[in-house]
Amino acid sequence: MAAAPEVSTKKNYLTALKEAIFEEFEAHDDIIAIGEDIGFLGGAFGVTEGLKEKFGSERVIDAPISEAAIVGVACGMCLHGKRALVEMQFIDFISTGFDQIVNMTATYHYRTAGEVSMPMVIRGPAGGYGGGALYHSQMNEAWFANSPGLKIVCPSTPKDAKGLLKAALRDPNPVLVYEMKELYRLRKIEEELETGDAALVPLGKASVRREGEDVTIVSYGNNVYHCLQAAENLEQEGYRAEVIDIRSLVPLDEETIIHSLKKTNRLVVVNEAPRTCGFAGEILARLTEEAFEYLDAPPMRVTRLDTPVPWVKPLELFVLPSADKITEAALRVCKF
């Protein structure tokens, strides 16, 4: 008689996010979720599926299609002692709530001299590579990195997705969580997850995904996997790359990157957003200011081209970062 197949206990990225939300809702009855179709449909990708059934319509609110209203209502909830979990159905549409985020939510703690906190998490699916075209493929994190008062995280693994979202929900001030929709159900990155406090991942702490001594490659989100593939390519060329996943853009863990640069003396930074004023440029600027003496070659960026993301697959891949583009950039700095 054949043995029963082993049942995997590993969870995908989407399930990790769901676990984070359900655990925090169980532990903290002051959290209220609001967004478009988050209760009725469980969200566009199912991240909040079952939440309304378990916690009721007073804590899981289906909102009209108005991101400005959604963030504004959430802001009011926070002012009245609640913690708000806001879903953007796609992160692209966060722009219609921009004023409420950067002029209201981000500034409350400062303009009340620290008396008022704004415990709000704004989360949503982001990024390209899935044929979503220009309205469903954006990475607009740099807009908000430019707004003091906001924290920004972008997990690349299920453990980090769960741990960073839990930490964000416990933070007293606003946090934006960029979820990589191309990673939601990716089986090859499934992981076993901790529960409760053991699952927490601190905001502002990077992770070294691969160790090396010839070049430091820094990224976050989906691009981390392109960097890891590039590191394998580089090993065939005789170079060992260190891959750093910053996980948290604001606050940024400069210390981990500088520690790596002291070994490698070369730097490549990768982000999926456009080149002009993208967060990769911010990382390069800071590292040039803080660690110039460790650089033996000009640092390089690999980014999306300064264009909307096309729908046609060959064009989409042409404008976005890839393992081959990262490999080419790393070889240039290694051979400088």
Q: Are residues 127 and 143 both part of a single domain? A: yes
Residue 150 lies in a domain: yes
Q: Which two tokens stand for residue 107?
A: 């500034």
Residue with tokens 């400062």: 110
Backbone angles phi, psi at 84, to 5 degrees: -110, 135
- Are 63 and 136 in the same domain? yes
- On whether residue 1 sits in a domain, the answer given is no
For residues 65 and 38, give the distance between their C-alpha atoms in angstroms, rounded to a whole number.
12
Q: Two tokens at 230?
A: 């590039």
257 pLDDT higher than 90: yes
DSSP 160-194: HHHHHHHHHHH-SS-EEEEEEGGGTT-GGG-B---
Question: Is the model's pLDDT at 6 over the cut of 90?
Answer: no
Q: Is the pLDDT of residue 3 over 60?
A: no
Mean pLDDT across the stretch 122-142?
96
Residue 3 lies in a domain: no
Give, for 216, the enclosing helix (H) or strand (E): strand 215-219
Q: Are residues 213 and 267 in the same domain?
A: yes
Q: Which residue's structure tokens are 């911010």?
A: 282
Q: Of 22, 82, 88, 24, which Cα lies nearest the Cα of 58?
A: 82
Averaged pLDDT, 37-60: 97
The answer to whether residues 273 and 330 belong to one domain is yes
Residues 125 and 21 in one domain: yes
User: Treating both helix axes as pointing N-terminal to C-terminal, what angle do 279-291 and 254-264 enclose, rounded to 10 degrees?
Assistant: 60
pTM of the prediction? 0.96
Is the residue at 4 inside a domain?
no
Over residues 134-187, the pLDDT tens digits come to: 999 999 999 999 999 999 999 999 999 999 999 999 999 999 999 999 999 999
Structural domain contains residue 5: no
Maximum pairwise Cα distance, the chain: 71
The closest of 95, 186, 100 to 138, measured between CA atoms, is 95
pLDDT exceeds cutoff 90 at 1? no
Q: Are residues 194 and 238 in the same domain?
A: no
- CA pair distance 315, 58, nearest whole angstrom: 45
Structural domain boundaries, residue 214? 207-334
Considering 199, 215, 236, which residue would you say is the last residue of a domain? Answer: 199
CATH number at residue 271: 3.40.50.920
C-beta separation of 220 from 317 below 8 A: no
Residue 17 sits in a domain of what CATH number? 3.40.50.970
Do both 52 and 193 map to the same domain?
Answer: yes
Catalytically active residues are 136
